[in-house]
Structure 1
Amino acid sequence: MKKSLIVASSLLAVVSLAACKKEAEAPKSPEIAAASSGSMAEMPMAAEMKHGMGVGTVTEIDAAKGMVTLDHGDIAELQWPAMKMGFAIKPELLAGIKVGDKVNFEIDWDGKAGTVTRIEKAGS
C-alpha cells in the first residue's frame, strides 16, 4: 500500500508540474528586438569589409571547394604578419595558377573570413 501511495504521489507531482509548465519564451535576437522597437541605433552593424594586398606562395589549391592556401608575407592594410592561411576564391580566378607559384593577390576580409578577389603570378 505504501509503495502504491508513493507511485501515485510521484505521478501526480509529474502531471501537476507538466500542467503548470510554461514554455520559456525564446530571447529575441538584437535584430528582431531593434526592428520591433523601430530603432536603427540598436541594430548590430555588419563588420566592416577590409581590403588588402599581398605576395605569397600557393601551397594548396582545392578548386572544387573554391579554396586556395597561401603562405604570404605581411599584409599592412589588414595589420597581419606573415602566415600560411586558406581563403575562399572563385575557381575561375585560379586559371593558370598552380601549387608552388609565387603570386600577387588581393583579399577582402570581413573580420571572420577572407576571399581572394584577384590573384596573378608574381612578375605577370
Structure 2
Amino acid sequence: MNKKWITSIGAVLLSAALLASCSASGAAKQTVKLATGGNTGTYYAFGTAVGQILGEKSGVSFNIQSTGASKANIQLISAKEVNMAIVQNDVMDYAFNGTDLFATDGAVKGFSAMAGLYPNSRK
C-alpha cells in the first residue's frame, strides 16, 4: 500500500468526514470516529494509516476504533455510535437485504456506502 494511494482514498474519506463535521457545533477541532476491525487485522492497520495521514493534512482528528469487523461496524453505524466504518461489500449486502449474517436480526438500512477502498477477493 503506497502513500499516494492511501492519500487518494483518504481524500474521499476526508470529504465525507468534513461534510459530517460541518453540521456539528462550531468546535475548533472535529473528531471522526472510524470503526475498523480487530487491532491485529488489515482494517485496523488501514484505518490507522488513513486516519494519521488525513489528520496531518486536514486538522480533523480521527478516533480509530478496534471492533468486531464488518457486521459489528454496520451495527455501530446504524446505532450512530461511529461516523464511518470499513465494511466488506458482501456484508453490506447481507445487512441491507437481511440475509446470511443478518438473517436472524433482520435488515439494517441505516447506512450508506461511500467508496470502494481496495479489492477484496476470495480464492
Ranked by relative contact order (alpha carbons within 8 Å, sequence separation 6 or more), the top structure is: 2
TM-score (structure 2 length as normaliser): 0.20
Q: Which has the larger radius of gyration?
A: 1
TM-score (structure 1 length as normaliser): 0.20
From the two aligned structures, give the one with the greater helix fraction. 2
